[in-house]
Amino acid sequence: MDNLVSIIIPCYNHGAFLREALASIPKFSMGGVEVIIVNDGSTDSHTKQVLLELEREGYKVHHQENQGLGKTRNNGIKLASGKYILPLDADNKLTPAYFEKGIELLESNSQISVVYGDPILFGDQEGLAPVRDFNLQQLITGNYIDACAIYRKSAWEMVGGYDENMPFMGVEDWEFWLNLSFNGHKFLHLAEPSFYYRVANQSMIKKDTGPNFNELRFYIEKKHSYYLDFDAPADALSLKFKANPIVLLYKLILRTYFPAKYQALVQQRKIKRI
């Protein structure tokens, strides 16, 4: 590989923020850094102009028809030569410490596949938003790892990248983290301010993910049914638990820490009572 790290920036009509994101990428002493911008069919004239200018300045810009976030990230990573991948949304920014320390942690520990840090919110909401240390059972109940994490390209290759078949956009990164974890990859939380996350009232997470969250979650549960099968017949439950104890752990977590949600899922026959 020619570079140590490849920064992948999907861009759809975010030309107003793109240069700010690029300016946040620090100089790096440990090895080569490449930046790949993927234009996901932007229609905004200002974004098109910014992308054209960046190409003239020597940035690598890949143009495609609009294909959605998962496929856009995959397309950028396929072009990447780096040992490590760092996705960066076009409207977000990096901190120098995250970049340096994240790579150092991966370089010094071959058992770790993913390093993730704490976001600093800005825009419509401001302040540090610390996240928790890695716990698979808690990750199953909901995502707390932003897409802006540093991971080995070999890990991405092993699980086939981001799922391009999800029925709606919005939780590609959550499914990707679960897929990595289910396949034995280890995560490490860098508990310090690591990147700036822009909060906007019109963000995709509000417009797309919220209304479709239940269907997206069902898709994930079905895809990873070996680990997340809540519909096993009663007479097969004991066998299912022996083959897949994480199902029981998930239910125990729900019952202990989220009793209202647990009761609701039982009543809706989404899970069986324990």
How much is the pLDDT for 90? 97
How much is the pLDDT for 200? 84
How much is the pLDDT for 30? 59
Residue 17, phi then psi, degrees to nearest 5: -110, -10
Half-sphere exposure (Cβ direction) of 133: Cα atoms closer than 13 Å: 0
Is residue 90 within 8 Å of 21, Cβ to Cβ? yes
How much is the pLDDT for 21? 96
How much is the pLDDT for 15? 96
How much is the pLDDT for 241? 38
How much is the pLDDT for 270? 66
The residue ranges of every structural domain in the chain are 3-208, 229-267
73 against 100, higher pLDDT = 73
Q: What is the pLDDT confidence band of residue 167, given thresholds at 50, 70 and 90?
A: confident
DSSP per-residue letters across 202-215: T-HIIIIIHHHHHH
Element (H, E) at 206: none
Q: What is the pLDDT confidence band of residue 240, given thresholds at 50, 70 and 90?
A: very low
Give the bridge partners for 238, in sequence order. Answer: none
247 against 259, higher pLDDT = 259
How much is the pLDDT for 247? 63
Pairing of strands 3-11, 33-40: parallel
Paired tokens of 173: 């990164």
Over residues 178-189, the mean pLDDT reads: 94
Q: Residue 239 CB: number of other CB atoms within 10 A?
A: 10
Question: What fold does the segment set 3-208 form as a domain?
Answer: Spore Coat Polysaccharide Biosynthesis Protein SpsA; Chain A (3.90.550)
pTM of the entire predicted model:
0.82
- Of 85, 248, 56, 50, nearest in space to 162 by CA: 85
**13-44 tens-digit pLDDT:** 999 999 999 999 987 655 689 999 999 999 99
